[in-house]
Amino acid sequence: MTAGTVGVLGAAKAPIGVAATTMTAVLASFGSALVLEHAAHLHTDAVMQAVVLSVTLSRGHRGARLPDRLIGFAVMPAVALVSVALGILMRDDAFAGDAAFAALVTSGVWIRRFGPRFTKAGTLMMLPAIALLVIPHGAPGAPSTHLLWAPVVALIPYFWVTAVQVAVERPWRIGRIEAAAPARASAPSRRLPASTRMAAQMGVALCAAFAVGHLLFPDHWSWVVLTAFIVCNGARGRGDALHKGLLRALGAAGGTVLAALASGLFAPRDPDAVVLIFVVLGLAAWLRQRSYAYWAGGVTAALSLLYAYFGQSAGPLLQTRLEAILVGGAIGVGAAWAILPFRTRDVLRRRTAECLAALTDVMKDEPHARARFEHSVAELDTIDGPLRLHRFVSRTRPHHADVVDVLREMVPHVRAAGPDAKALRANVGSVRLAIARRHDGTPYKRLALDDATAAHAIDAGLARIHAIYAPPTQEPGQEPRRGPESPEKARPGG
């Protein structure tokens, strides 16, 4: 995770803590699925499915509330059965199966518009389906009795991920978790919700990826589809999609080099190769907090060891994988830029408004307001990467990426703020008006505060944010610039 990140869950969000939590769940899932494989005489792909699901669940389910986790125990078996049917359909009728896959994943993105619980449900809907792209269900000749174990295989990683994360995060501290939920504006808008735009981008990207993948990579089309999904899934604007595509391509290239160096170290079915696979995944999970490129590279290297374990030649497959990733990344980025696009800067505008709304509540002494402010600041991590990259490339100052830095720097001062910080409420309101494009152009007015106080540091940070979002001071007699829209309804850019 980027330096300066503020997390509500504390140690659970630290890089080493995240990696340890992830690998504990992965190893427990692997061991349990291995026992099930021997007891029920299943195929090795059942174990690999459990490992894939535990890795994806560990990241997507982090910080979930206890009721949402319990609901997942009912949802996962049903979704696993659907994924079995979907895998068989994709095997027997490629066109119908691909269309059903795209519809399932797109609907999982679209239902995010209905709130956090639907977002979690949509994530659970997609996980077994996405696992199909890594380890297909229903290989030719697979007995149907084996496929019926899929709900159990899905519950194994869900149980272990839930158990490990609950032990680390201790979500029974209800007040702490509830306080972390940021307040979302409920003002109606005529514009398409971001989830609808993202669903449209995902649907187009998947359809194109299936078509191109089957055409160019008939035996490994799934890598094209998986990359297009990764780039589009949760892409917070055009810049974020491009950033994710670049990181995935860079990581895959690095992983290919590592795989070439590691090729030939182990004989087929060598148990030491399994140990090294988990070591590589653990390092990748740790470094992923710094950059997704490390994760992509680690997975590529782990796949090389996996191919060698099953006696397959890793070199040609890795070259094909890299080519497929580049094609899939281009498809995902193209969909994000061409289909109902919106800018990452507009996402930053809305989330900055949420941070300042929570800061206003801090100054009103609202309960849990500081936790909500810190959570809102931590949420900025998801869009920090593309903003920093744009700042580095453009060399412009000031830059919108500075807003994230300023808000992070504010966190310790907000924690230490005393009664004198209440005088800043008017200035916070002035910055919020500037973010909403409803500012009249007057300069920001700093308060006369002691330089050593937390309130002075907060005031300085507010002035920097105001300078980025406020329009230039207007000439006398000119009409003030006032826009009708709020930051929650900021127009997505094309």
Per-residue pLDDT tens over the stretch 43-54 = 777 888 888 888
Q: How confident is the model over 206-257, as pLDDT tens digits?
A: 999 999 999 999 988 998 999 999 999 888 899 999 999 999 889 888 887 7
* 8 Å CB contact between 146 and 97: no
Q: What is the rounded CA–CA span in Å between residue 325 and residue 240?
A: 17
Angle between helices 94-110 and 194-216 (to 10 degrees): 160
Q: How confident is the model over 296-314, as pLDDT tens digits?
A: 888 878 877 777 777 666 6
Indicate whether 20 belongs to any domain. Answer: yes
Same domain flag for 110 and 33: yes
Give me the sign of the Cα torsion angle 330, 335, 341, 343: negative
pLDDT at 448 (0 to 100) = 80
pLDDT at 76 (0 to 100) = 84
Nearest to 483 by CA among 412, 444, 435: 435
Q: What is the rounded CA–CA span in Å between residue 123 and residue 70?
A: 15
Phi, psi of 352 (to 5 degrees): -65, -40
Indicate whether 274 belongs to any domain. Answer: no
More confident residue, 13 or 236: 236
* 8 Å CB contact between 430 and 459: no
Same domain flag for 360 and 473: yes
**CB within 8 Å of 310: residues ≥ 6 apart:** 268
* 8 Å CB contact between 152 and 74: no
Same domain flag for 337 and 323: yes
Confidence of residue 484 (pLDDT cuts 50, 70, 90): very low
Confidence of residue 174 (pLDDT cuts 50, 70, 90): very low
Domain that holds residue 241: 214-220+227-264+282-342
Confidence of residue 185 (pLDDT cuts 50, 70, 90): very low
Confidence of residue 56 (pLDDT cuts 50, 70, 90): confident
Q: How confident is the model over 415-446, as pLDDT tens digits?
A: 988 887 888 888 999 999 999 888 766 778 88
Same domain flag for 319 and 359: no
Residue 19's region, left for phi above 0, alpha for psi from -120 to 50, else beta, is: alpha
Q: What is the rounded CA–CA span in Å between residue 278 and residue 123?
A: 25
Same domain flag for 426 and 324: no
pLDDT, mean over the chain:
81
Least-confidence region, from 21-35, 42-56, 163-177, 244-258 = 163-177
172: pLDDT strictly greater than 70 = no
What is the DSSP track for 197-227?
Answer: HHHHHHHHHHHHHHHHHHHH-TTSHHHHHHH
Q: How far is CA 237 from the centre of its chain?
A: 13
Burial of 333 (0-12, 13-18, 19+ CB in 10 A): buried
Matching residue, tokens 């109606």: 188
Question: Which of these three, 342, 375, 394, is where a domain ends?
Answer: 342
Residue 271 DSSP code: H
Nearest to 82 by CA among 47, 129, 117, 118: 129
Same domain flag for 338 and 467: no
pLDDT at 492 (0 to 100) = 35
Same domain flag for 56 and 150: yes
* Amino acid identity, position 331: I
**CB within 8 Å of 261: residues ≥ 6 apart:** none
CB atoms within 10 A of CB 106: 22
Same domain flag for 393 and 295: no
Indicate whether 208 belongs to any domain. Answer: no
pLDDT at 301 (0 to 100) = 82
Same domain flag for 44 and 145: yes
Q: What is the rounded CA–CA span in Å between residue 253 and residue 102?
A: 27
Same domain flag for 360 and 435: yes
Of the chain, the end-to-end C-alpha distance in Å amounts to: 30
Question: Which of these three, 324, 342, 360, is where a domain ends?
Answer: 342
Domain count, the chain: 3
Q: How confident is the model over 309-362, as pLDDT tens digits?
A: 776 666 667 788 889 999 999 999 999 999 999 999 999 999 999 999 999 999
Torsion of CA 11, 244, 376, 177, to 10 degrees: -50
